Amino acid sequence: MIPPPTSADVADAAQFIAPHLPPTPLVRSEGLSMLLGCDYAVKCENLQPVGAFKVRGGVNLVGRLTRDEKRAGLISASTGNHGQSIAWAGRLFGTSVVIYAPAEGANEAKLDAIRRLGAEVRQHGKDFDEARIAAEEAAGEEGRRFVHSANEPHLIAGVGTIGAEILDVAPDMETVLVPIGGGSGAAGICLATKARNPAIEVIGVQSASAPAAWRAWHEKRLDLAAETSTPHEGMATRVAFAMTMEILWQQLDDFVLVEDAEIDAAIGLLAQEARVVAEGAGAASLAAAIKLHERLARRRVCGVLSGGNLPLARYADVLRGR
């Protein structure tokens, strides 16, 4: 098995991606701080060129491929943000990309964005995990390099640069809340932040309607699956992944579930109080902060807004409370 990345790999990734991706803002919200009773800041990954944090890992991975791997092309599976990241990096570094996505319940706005970046989109199966299996099979048949959305050291190290940027701006940050689907973001942020401040608290957040990673973390095992019914596709995975869970078992301080209705409410609060657009996964960190507000009182807290790729019609419905 390929060994997981280290904090040194995150530091190396920060240097590698710097010419391509400037740091994203860490913005303190007065309104959310007053509401929560803590000093609350939002890490705005929705301002990345693809609207989500995943592009950090895409650049770090695709940019380091061999000439033969780039010539053969890449294939991966995604509900949207990971696919956009690989497509964007593929265009940047000159390699062709195929993305498998679910045939049911896909975020069409994200799939259209992947196509606009020059990648081919193939839809298969009822959910992410069925699309992932089909992508792995196609990679073997076509000779393309399969890119897993979580079990990739360069992806984890790349997205871990979020944690380094948080501490660059706010070295006294005490708690970081991170949404989890496959877990690459939370794993990378743990590596980056705890290497510099072992006392910092990193808390993972997942939808109660898609609790596979939450169950794996709490039960300390991978041989389980959980059904997913959440509309927030960034967290909609049925299984947990080995590399990210290995890091999370060692370094994540806590892992909580939030209801989809709480995530919807957090989307509205981020629009109202922080003036930012968040998709469901991106708002999950605030939903957790509200749930844990007594525990977080008077602390300096960062909520990672992992992405803002929410279809306009869905956004309007959420803001109307429908």
What is the C-alpha to C-alpha distance for residues 316 and 222, in angstroms, rounded to an integer? 37
Among candidate residues 85, 209, 285, 306, the one labeled active-site is: 306
Radius of gyration, CA atoms only, the chain:
18
| CA angle in degrees (0–180, nearest 5) for 106-110-113 | 140
The set of long-range contacts for 121-125, using a CB threshold of 8 Å and a minimum separation of 24, is: 121/83, 122/98, 124/100
Cα separation of the two ends of the chain: 46
Collapsed DSSP state (helix, strand, coil) of residue 231: coil
Question: Dihedrals φ, ψ of 158, to 5°?
Answer: -65, -50
Among candidate residues 54, 76, 149, 285, the one labeled active-site is: 54
Is the CB of residue 159 less than 8 Å from the CB of residue 185? yes
Q: Which of 170, 171, 150 is nearest to 160 (CA)?
A: 150
> Containing H/E element for 247?
helix 242-251
User: Is residue 126 annotated as part of the catalytic site, yes or no?
Assistant: no
User: Is residue 29 annotated as part of the catalytic site, yes or no?
Assistant: no
* Other beta carbons less than 10 A from residue 166's beta carbon: 24
DSSP string computed for 112-146: HHHHHTT-EEEE-SSSHHHHHHHHHHHHHHHTPEE
Two tokens, residue 85 = 């990241």
Residue at token pair 């910092």 = 200
Is the CB of residue 155 less than 8 Å from the CB of residue 58? yes
Which residues are designated catalytic?
Answer: 54, 306
